[in-house]
Amino acid sequence: MAISYNEQERVFKLDTPHSTYLIGIVDTEGFLGHVYYGRRIPDDNMTYLLRLGESRVPSIKNRERLSFYDALPTEYPGHGIGDLRQSCLSVETPEGYRACGLTYRDHKIYGGKPKLEGLPATYGGEEDCETLELIAQDRTLGLTVRLYYTAFKKIDAICRSVRVENTTGKPLRLDCVLSACLDMDNQDFDLITLHGNWALERMISRKRLGWGKQGVSSLRGISSHQEQPFMALVESTATQTQGQVYAMNFVYSGNFLGQVEMHQQGQLRMVMGINPVDFSWKLVEGESFQAPEVVMVYSSCGLDGMTHAFHDLYRNHLVRGPYKDKPRPSLVNNWEATYFDFNTEKILEIGREAAAAGIEMLVLDDGWFGKRNSDSSSLGDWFVNEEKLPGGLKRLTDELNKMGLRFGLWIEPEMVSPDSELYRAHPDYALQIPGREPTQSREQLVLDISRKEVRDHVYGMLHAVLSSAHVEYIKWDMNRALADVYSPALAPDAQGELYHRYVLGVYEMQERLLTDFPDLLLENCSSGGGRFDPGMLYYSPQIWTSDNTDAIDRLKIQEGTALVYPLSTMGAHVAACPSHTNYRSTPFETRGHAALPGCFGYELDLTQLTPQEKAMIPVQLEEYRKYGPVFRTGDYYRLASFSENHEYDVLMAVSKDKTIAVIDYVQVMTRYRLKSAHIRLAGLDENRYYRCSETGEVHSGAGWMFGGMLLPKLKGDFLSRLIVLEAVEE
């Protein structure tokens, strides 16, 4: 049983394989106290941790109610009545009262996990998880708040969400509805977050936790390149393999807040949810608001434990569709090969090379529609440019299919170019504030995707294009942040809903696409990895990781990404050299090894390769065929990080049955070494024996892990090796 209730102690106990979470109902008023989250324990009677005796509960000592409110470790803090830390819920009544505080009313415990209407979320059946639905109320307002906690039986993850129901008999305005709160004492924590910029997403930042509020956020309308909806508190001594880790990740693709507040004598409040800035929601009587989900992971065995929990959860209980457990096709994308300068013949030329090399799919990127010959026009005109592609997509895909290639297509449905037929016909479809020149980015404006008629219009065009030819893959791009966020469709006092309604609109469109084209492989993208978040993973099993395709920068980007997201979700391609982003040149082989752990492909002009490079493609494809499944479904270990050692990078994946392990080693900057570098492997079966592809040596898993491996000495910068360990019969 993953969830139980001790009626005597009035304590809920949620267990995952290695963690326990305890919630206590406190005092006659029924406050919801957060008792414990950490390593799995058998006890459910730990309410002494709430230190109630030290401040006295209100029923005994009402004169100190404020300090009780302000110090109680709380499950879900309200606002304005005395808990003066960050609140999670703030509502305003028609009278202008802005106070609320929750107490227990009822609860339900059931197998499985309810869907979140209109929102992405993890899923699981009765065999996978149990859910606690804690029904809380504000007695004065008559407000109902449902707190959902789902504990997974085989994965150390607890997924939380919140539903606010207006049962007050009056209209309300929600000003803040965060999705999770975790109060606890500081345990000498560091804070790990992922920050970045375009072409350098998800760089790992680790710093000591300080006093006051700190964290991550986005107000860009997307989760963003700059910050990730992810935070982890880790003991300062924690490593990949040791120490406690508390992590939160938000299953959402818009504005978010993730914050840790260290206050008073070192107590912490960690919260995550929709960013309350620029958010409000009118909630009329009888309506409810569903806040998105936060995934909480606890690991007592360092960052590897956290990473494995996220990877297993997302691969098995977030990603959906026909490609969930399937190898993803190797592909060639024409973006860096041609940019906008292509026609049918050029694409077919690339296709012929691709087919001859054994690549499975060709993806036609930006530039196939309207009059799109540069990035300054035509977004919104989703019909084929017959000047470039006479006979339309049908002719092109038929030709490619004849060669044995599958076909994929790029779209950017949320956007409109001022120079487009769509904009000329419907200027009001773009987000803009009356009387103010809208702010362009890449010469484009954002469509008001919150409006159904806008979604229907754009979707109708896309549907026609996708029905016109055999399109098996879609790259859904989104190339700018939101600005001028105003919608004529919403009342003046409802404009605070627009950012969230926009995200809901995107989700609705993607769901529609997957329903109408159930065999489609969807890849999300936002100028590279600007919307690489769990929300998007619910719709697309893979996301374009970054526009930076340089093999060396990719090591860092993919390392930060893989801290949370499975390798199977990362689009990774071999691109041309010098790199179009940073002008670095790296060997073709190294580019292959850097891309191999992800959804593998090529992003260069195959017709321009040297014979040696061409000859390497079938070798790389064979490696992808053989070892791709280990990266995609196995356990990932970060053995050595170039960001930390400034010399080399080693990642490893071990199949779940521990019969095969792949070690991806890139020597970035060589340095003189009298002796070779030494690493300890991970994840092997101590008692089995494994043969190393590099040396032919056979050692036990224990030997490889505790004795370690000597990395081959490579002579030069940017060189790489793929080393395979296969279990042998003794």
Q: Which residues bind ligand GLA (CB under 6 A)?
A: 335, 365-366, 375, 410, 477, 479, 525, 527-528, 544, 547
Phi-psi category of residue 291: left, alpha or beta, with phi > 0 → left and psi -120 to 50 → alpha? beta
> What DSSP state is assigned to residue 438?
P
Q: Of these residues, 477, 533, 553, 635, which one is catalytic?
A: 477
Between residues 75 and 547, which has the closer beta carbon with respect to ligand GLA?
547
Do residues 102 and 32 make contact, with C-beta atoms less than 8 angstroms apart?
Answer: yes
Nearer to ligand GLA, 547 or 649 (CB): 547
**Token output for 482:** 């939101």
Q: Least distance to ligand GLA from the beta carbon of 244, Å?
A: 37
| CB nearer ligand GLA, residue 601 or residue 634 | 601
* Closest C-alpha among 495, 433, 480, 487 to residue 455: 487
Tell me the closest approach of the beta carbon of residue 526 to ligand GLA, in angstroms.
7
Continuous H helices in 33-72: 52-55, 65-71
Which one, 128 or 366, has the nearer CB to ligand GLA? 366
Task: Output the smallest distance, CB 409 to ligand GLA, in A.
Answer: 11
Taking the complex as a whole, how short is the minimal distance between the CB of residue 337 and ligand GLA, in angstroms?
Answer: 12
Comparison of 375 and 685: residue with beta carbon closer to ligand GLA: 375
All residues at 6 or more sequence positions from 412 whose CB lies less than 8 Å from its CB, including other chains: 366, 379, 476, 477, 478, 479
Please tell me the distance from the alpha carbon of residue 348 to that of residue 344, in angstroms, as a whole number. 6
**Could you tell me which residues come within 8 angstroms of residue 661 by beta carbon, excluding any fewer than 6 positions away?**
630, 634, 652, 653, 654, 655, 681, 683, 684, 690, 724, 725
Long-range CB contact pairs, 703-711, < 8 A, 24+ = 705/680, 705/681, 706/680, 707/680, 708/678, 708/679, 708/680, 708/681, 709/663, 709/678, 709/679, 709/680, 709/681, 710/676, 710/677, 710/678, 711/648, 711/650, 711/665, 711/667, 711/676, 711/677, 711/678, 711/679
Q: Which two tokens stand for residue 483?
A: 């600005």
Closer residue to ligand GLA (CB): 2 or 409: 409
Minimum Å gap between C-beta 392 and ligand GLA is: 20
The single residue listed with the structure tokens 């340089």 is 550
For residue 531, the minimal CB distance to ligand GLA (Å) is 10
Half-sphere exposure of 9 (CA within 13 A, CB side): 18
Residue listed under structure tokens 């207006």:
166
Cβ-proximal residue to ligand GLA, closest one = 366
| Distance separating alpha carbons of residues 102 and 122, to the nearest angstrom | 26
Residue placing its CB nearer to ligand GLA in the complex, 45 or 374: 374
Does 477 qualify as catalytic in the annotation? yes
Parallel, antiparallel, or unpaired for β 172-185 and 189-197? unpaired
CB of 544 to ligand GLA, least distance (A): 6
Least distance from C-beta 404 to ligand GLA, angstroms?
Answer: 25
> Are residues 497 and 281 in contact, defined by beta-carbon separation less than 8 angstroms?
yes
Residue 144, helix vs strand vs coil: strand
Nearest approach, Cβ of residue 431 and ligand GLA (Å): 20
CA–CA distance from 444 to each of 340, 452, 478, 504 (Å)? Answer: 16, 21, 11, 21
Residue 262, classed as helix, strand or coil, is strand
Q: Which is nearer to ligand GLA, 143 or 525 (CB)?
A: 525
Closest to 595 measured CA to CA, from 332, 226, 313, 310: 332
Q: Which is nearer to ligand GLA, 323 or 544 (CB)?
A: 544
> CA-to-CA distance for 352 and 362, rounded, in angstroms?
10
547 catalytically annotated: yes
Report how far residue 251's alpha carbon sits from residue 508's, in angstroms, rounded to the nearest whole number. 15
Q: Output the CA–CA distances (angstroms, integers) from residue 401 to 4, 165, 361, 605, in the order listed.
A: 56, 52, 9, 19
**Which token pair is 216?**
């991550």
Of the listed 156, 365, 547, 664, which one is catalytic? 547
Distance CA 218, CA 272 (A): 12
**CB closer to ligand GLA out of 573 and 658:** 573
How far apart CA 675 and CA 693 sit, in angstroms, is 21
Which residue is listed with tokens 């072409």?
A: 199
Kindly list the distances between the CA atom of residue 163 and the CA atoms of 146, 278, 364, in Å, as whole numbers in the listed order: 5, 20, 42
Minimum separation from the CB atom of position 408 to ligand GLA (A):
12
In this structure, the number of other CB atoms found within 10 A of the CB of residue 546 comes to 31
What type of residue sits at position 197? N
In this complex, which beta carbon is closest to ligand GLA, that of residue 409 or of residue 719?
409
Distance set, CA 292 to CA 74, 101, 153 (Å): 20, 21, 22
Cβ proximity to ligand GLA, 295 vs 522, nearer residue: 522
Would you name the residues annotated as active-site residues? 477, 547
